[in-house]
Amino acid sequence: MKKTGMLNSAISKVLPDLGHTDRVVIADIGLPVQTGVTKIDLAITVGNPSFETVVKAVHDDMVVEKVFAAKEIIVENAKQRNFLKKEFPDMVSYVSHEEFKKMVGQAKAVIRTGEATAYSNCILQAGVFF
């Protein structure tokens, strides 16, 4: 039994398989997931687990070189925008929500949280540790 780091077995299987520039999505409960994209559903109840909790846990176990979020988060969800800016200084790029949803189709996995606030989604792009 693993005692530290990412304990969720599905996420623990995805992260080591990521190569440089591969992407993982952390999603709220409303983000559509295209057929063929692996969905890891962590949602238990509305708000649980939160977007922030899941992003932090994944970030602790993943080298991230870039983050994408919908530009609508800037106005519609300042709390999550500020969280992303703090968690990933100088790494966040913004695209339209429609473009974001297209990018989801290219992700290796979507991790669904219980978050129920608008635009609480991000795409984490894998970097390398060397």
Query: What CATH number does the domain containing 46 carry?
Result: 3.40.1650.10
Q: Does the annotation place 90 within a ligand binding site? A: no
Alpha-carbon gap, residue 5 to 84, rounded angstroms? 21
Q: Does the annotation place 22 within a ligand binding site? A: no
What is the greatest pairwise CA distance in the chain?
A: 43
Catalytic residue among 13, 20, 56, 102: 20
| pLDDT at residue 1 is higher than 90 | no
Please say if 59 is a catalytic residue. no
Q: How many domains does the structure of the chain reveal? A: 1
pTM of the entire predicted model: 0.96
Q: Does the annotation place 96 within a ligand binding site? A: no
Mean pLDDT across the chain: 97
Q: Which of 66, 64, 79, 63 is nearest to 115 (CA)?
A: 79
Give the pLDDT band (50/70/90) at residue 93: very high
User: What's the pLDDT score for residue 13?
Assistant: 96
Decide which of 71 and 2 is more confident: 71
Indicate whether 92 belongs to any domain: yes
Indicate whether 50 belongs to any domain: yes
Domain span at residue 119 reads: 9-126
Give the pLDDT band (50/70/90) at residue 2: confident
User: What's the pLDDT score for residue 63?
Assistant: 97
Indicate whether 1 belongs to any domain: no
Neighbours of 66 (CB within 10 A): 15
